[in-house]
Each structure stands twice: as C-alpha cells, then as structure tokens.
C-alpha cells in the first residue's frame, strides 16, 4: 500500500474509528465517570461537563491560534491525546481503589483536553480537504467503531481511544490551511438545516435520558447495538452509492464544479436527515401509543446517533465551501451540542422524571410530547424560511437576468480573451450591474473575502482600477461585439 493512501484513507479511517467511541457515553465518559444512581450524577461527571463548556469557550476565543498550532505543530494533538489516555487510566484506577480520589479529579482536565483536541484536530483535517470520498471514510469508520470496539475489553478501549485518535492524526496527510473567515459574525453562515440537526440531537437526548434512566430496561442495550450496526451499514451503502453518482456526474461538468459538489452533498445529507427523522418520529409515537419506551426509545437513540454523524458531514461541507474557521464552527455547533446533550440526558432528565406533573400523562410522556411538538414546529419554520429565501433569490435572479440585457456583463468570448475564470466573470458582471460586494457574495453563495479576491483578480486581468472603469470596459466590449 502506498504511503499516500495510508495518509489519505487508512489513517483517517483508523483515527475516526477510535474517535466515534467518544460520542457514545456508555462506552467512554460513562465508563470513566459513572452515574451514582438513576436519580443523580456523580460530582465528577458534573465537573467534566463544566470543564468541557470552559474548553468550548476557550476554543472559540483562541480559534485562530489553535488552527495555526494544528497546522504547524502536529505533535500537539498526539501529546494531548497521550495525556488523555493517562487520565483515563488514572480515572479507572481511582474507581477500582488502586489510586486515591485525587487521581479522579486530576484525570478530568486531561481527559477533557484530549477529547477536545482530537475533536477539533480531525474536524480541521476533514474541513480543509472535504470531498465525496471523505463521506465514505466517515461512514465506514462509524460502522467500524460499532463492530470492533464494542467487542473489546471496555477498559482497554477507554484507555487507548485518545491515543488512537492522536497517533492516527499524526500519520494522516497534514491539512493545508488557507485564509478563513474566523470572526464570530461568520457563524451567520450556518444554515437553518444545521439548526434543525442540532434541535434533533438535543430533543433525542430527552428520549435517551428517559431510556437510560430506566432501571428495568435489560434487553434494550442488546437491541440497540445490532440495530445501530444495521442502520450504520445502510447509511454506508447509501453514501457509497451517492458518492459514485456524484463522481460520475462531476466528470461532465465544465464549470462551477465546487458549487455543484457542495449542493450535491447538502442534498444527500438532507435526504439522510429525512429518512432518520421519519425513523425518529415513528419510534416516538410508537412509544407513546405503547405506553413504554422499552424498545422504541432505543430506536430514537439510534436515529439520534446517526444524525450526530450526519451533522459532521454537513458542518464539514459548510466550512469547506464557505471557508469558515473549523475550530469556531465545530466548537459552537458540535462540541457544545454534545456537551449540552449529555447534560440533558444524564443530569437534567433524571431529576425531571422525579417531578409529578399530574393529569393523565406521566412526566416522561409530557417531556416527549413537548420535544416532538418543538421539533415539528421548528421543521415548519425552517422550511418556511428556506422557501421564502428561495423565492426571493429567484426573483432577484430574474431581475438580474433582465438587467443584464441592458447592463454590462462579461460574455464567454470576453472571459476567454482575458483569461477570466467562470467565477471571476460572474463576480465582475454582478458587481458592474450595481450589486454591492456583499450582495454578490450572497447571490453566488461564497464568502465576502472570496468575492473580493475574485474582483481583484478580474481587475488585474482586465487592466481596470475602479468600478466605473470596469463598466466602461464591459460596455465597450459589448458595443464592439454587436
């Protein structure tokens, strides 16, 4: 096997196979810092959540510096991962009585820092090189983590997961960074669908908290694992088919390949969301009708876990297309979401379930109905906003097309004569037709900095220095062509 294949495929596959174990509470954090009882959590687990929230804020505040460290000093992730493995060993030793209670508290920041470093390290890796093949790698690694790591000795898995994440990151192809939008305001680029994914993950945490708090649920875990494997295998097959079709259609594209690929991946993710959302709601209402979440609750948890994987794909595609800061986006939209999700499932829900609400419905059903109603309302709102934006964009595109009949624009012949790229021609035409640079970026679904870079390049190739000179140049070319 060639070294390039190891760096591009094997190392990411192995690293993410280790990484996905982090996101299964029972396989990692719940093993190191177990709950004291069904109605409460250990102080250590509560402190861990607080540490993760602090690290999220730290990552957002120092996002630019963190990205530079990931790109220039690759051993940093390995070092933090090794420290996290040591912290995991200390936590297990303290739990078994081999070390004192001090070891448990010392392990907390080590484990949390290794988790965040591995999370952001692999997010940076995939965002800087994201493409169709990476979707298959992510899906295959998720399935591998379910098939292999659940069969091993859990304590060994907990100790070696951080180190596996870090060492694989070190051997993967180094990501090549470029200028990205790292201001907090760039989070406005986050699409309504990302918000919808986050809402599903948090709502699914309510069902997960109800299911995992049930002391009488014995068969649930045995049912959840094979179902997770089957659903993950179906997702992998679907991704493989979708990626093959994308590559076949991409061959015939002459221009706009990057934009087409971004929309194709978004379309694939939206179809995956629709299937998982259907599975999610079907299980919710089956549980309500049955009056028990003994099995249906685990179906919800499986659908929620796959949505967590799908959110990774959506965020990688968004960050790659919009040239956003991966540390900023993943800290705010993914790590924070998972931390709040664990807080809901294992800290807040066990307490809410002890509260008597009165009436004909138990507390669990009331919480589930509230979550389902909130999700349905959000779905209607999101698709309503998207539909209205599309109508506005269609109307604006129509007015732009009409304006192009009387306003200057870059023709194909002119673009070829001055060696303008298709995107430079689009930016120059829209800018000359009276749109602001911000509106040009919005119409072409690119960042403001990318639009400015294209117009500067177009100015240089056309030998103009202002908007008026650009308009004159385009108008003169049109008159000569006629």
What pLDDT is stored for residue 405 in this prediction? 45
What pLDDT is stored for residue 442 in this prediction? 80
HEC secondary structure over 245-295? HHHHHHHCCCCCHHHHHHHHHHHHHHHHHHHHHHHHHHHHHHHHHHCCCCC
More confident of the two residues 56 and 368? 56
The residue assigned the tokens 């796959």 is: 306
Backbone angles phi, psi at 359, to 5 degrees: 80, -160
Rounded Cα–Cα distance for residues 331 and 116 (Å): 9
What pLDDT is stored for residue 395 in this prediction? 56
Q: Which of 60, 69, 71 is nearest to 328 (CA)?
A: 60
Kindly report, residue by residue over 158-185, the tens digit of the pLDDT: 889 999 999 999 888 776 666 677 888 8
What pLDDT is stored for residue 38 in this prediction? 42
The domains found in the chain, sorted by start residue, are 3-389 (1.20.1250), 404-481 (1.10.10.10)
C-beta of residue 217 within 8 angstroms of C-beta of residue 211: yes
**Sequence-ordered alpha helix ranges (H) in 404-466:** 412-417, 422-432, 437-443, 448-462
Kindly report, residue by residue over 255-265, the tens digit of the pLDDT: 566 777 888 88
Kindly report, residue by residue over 419-445, the tens digit of the pLDDT: 888 888 888 888 888 888 888 888 887
Rounded Cα–Cα distance for residues 88 and 72 (Å): 27
The C-alpha angle with vertex 90 and arms to 88 and 96, in degrees rounded to 5, equals 105
- DSSP of 86-102, one letter per residue? HHHHHHHHHHHTSS-HH
Mean pLDDT to the nearest integer, 365-376: 79
User: Highest mean pLDDT: which of 181-190, 326-335, 393-402?
Assistant: 326-335
402: pLDDT strictly greater than 60: no
Rounded Cα–Cα distance for residues 189 and 351 (Å): 36
Mean pLDDT to the nearest integer, 207-217: 67
Mean pLDDT to the nearest integer, 245-260: 69
Which residues, at least 6 apart from 389, have a Cβ–Cβ distance to it below 8 Å? none
Backbone angles phi, psi at 324, to 5 degrees: -95, 170
What pLDDT is stored for residue 251 in this prediction? 61
CB atoms < 10 A from the CB of 295, how many? 18
pLDDT band for position 216 (50/70/90)?
very low
C-beta of residue 142 within 8 angstroms of C-beta of residue 6: no
Q: Which of 382, 147, 218, 371 is nearest to 280 (CA)?
A: 371
What pLDDT is stored for residue 70 in this prediction? 84
What pLDDT is stored for residue 411 in this prediction? 81
pLDDT band for position 293 (50/70/90)?
confident
What are the tokens at 228?
């997770």
Q: Which of 38-52, 149-163, 268-282 has the lowest mean pLDDT?
A: 38-52
What are the tokens at 63?
């996002």
DSSP secondary structure code for residue 186 in this structure: G
Rounded Cα–Cα distance for residues 430 and 440 (Å): 6
Mean pLDDT to the nearest integer, 286-309: 83
Percent of the chain's residues with pLDDT above 70: 85
110: pLDDT strictly greater than 90: yes
More confident of the two residues 109 and 44? 109
pLDDT band for position 253 (50/70/90)?
low
What are the tokens at 118?
């591995």
320: pLDDT strictly greater than 80: yes
What pLDDT is stored for residue 37 in this prediction? 43
Considering the entire predicted model, what is its pTM? 0.76
- Give the SS3 label for residue 40: strand
What pLDDT is stored for residue 83 in this prediction? 95
Mean pLDDT to the nearest integer, 376-396: 69
More confident of the two residues 213 and 446? 446
pLDDT band for position 85 (50/70/90)?
very high
DSSP secondary structure code for residue 9 in this structure: I
Average pLDDT for the chain: 82
């Amino acid at each position: 096997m060639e070294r390039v294949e190891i760096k591009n495929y094997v190392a990411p596959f192995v690293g993410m196979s280790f990484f996905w174990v982090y996101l299964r509470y029972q396989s990692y954090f719940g093993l190191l810092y177990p709950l004291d009882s069904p109605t409460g959590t250990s102080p250590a687990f509560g402190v861990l959540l607080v540490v993760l929230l602090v690290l999220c804020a730290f990552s957002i505040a120092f996002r630019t510096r963190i990205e530079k460290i990931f790109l220039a000093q690759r051993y940093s992730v390995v070092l933090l991962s090794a420290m996290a493995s040591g912290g995991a060993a200390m936590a297990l030793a303290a739990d078994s009585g081999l070390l004192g209670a001090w070891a448990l508290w010392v392990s907390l920041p080590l484990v949390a820092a290794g988790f965040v470093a591995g999370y952001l390290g692999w997010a940076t890796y995939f965002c800087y090189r994201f493409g169709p093949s990476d979707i298959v790698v992510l899906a295959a690694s998720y399935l591998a983590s379910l098939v292999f790591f659940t069969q091993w000795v859990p304590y060994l898995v907990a100790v070696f997961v951080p180190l596996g994440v870090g060492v694989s990151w070190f051997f993967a192809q180094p990501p090549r960074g470029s200028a990205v939008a790292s201001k907090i305001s760039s989070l406005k680029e986050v699409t309504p669908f990302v918000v919808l994914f986050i809402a599903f993950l948090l709502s699914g945490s309510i069902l997960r908290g109800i299911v995992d708090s049930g002391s009488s649920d014995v068969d649930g875990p045995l049912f959840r694992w094979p179902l997770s494997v089957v659903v993950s295998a179906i997702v992998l097959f679907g991704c493989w088919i979708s990626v093959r079709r994308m590559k076949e259609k991409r061959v015939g594209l002459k221009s706009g390949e990057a934009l087409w690929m971004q929309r194709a991946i978004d379309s694939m993710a939206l179809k995956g969301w629709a299937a998982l959302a259907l599975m999610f709601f079907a299980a919710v209402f089956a549980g309500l009708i049955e009056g028990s979440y003994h099995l249906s609750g685990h179906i919800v948890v499986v659908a929620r876990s796959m949505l967590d994987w799908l959110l990774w794909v959506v965020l990688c595609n968004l960050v790659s297309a919009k040239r956003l800061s991966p540390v900023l986006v993943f800290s705010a939209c993914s790590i924070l979401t998972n931390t709040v999700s664990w807080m809901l499932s294992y800290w807040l829900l066990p307490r809410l379930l002890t509260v008597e609400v009165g009436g004909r419905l138990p507390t669990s059903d009331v919480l589930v109905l509230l979550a389902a109603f909130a999700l349905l309302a959000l779905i209607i709102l999101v698709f309503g906003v998207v539909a209205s934006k599309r109508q506005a964009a269609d109307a604006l595109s129509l007015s732009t097309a009409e304006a192009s009949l009387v306003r200057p624009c870059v023709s194909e012949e002119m673009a070829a004569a001055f060696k303008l790229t298709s995107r430079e021609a689009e930016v120059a035409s829209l800018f000359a037709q009276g749109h602001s640079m911000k509106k040009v970026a919005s119409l072409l679904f690119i960042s403001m900095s990318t639009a400015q870079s294209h117009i500067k390049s177009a100015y240089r190739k056309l030998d103009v220095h202002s908007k008026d000179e650009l308009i004159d140049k385009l108008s003169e070319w049109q008159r000569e062509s006629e």
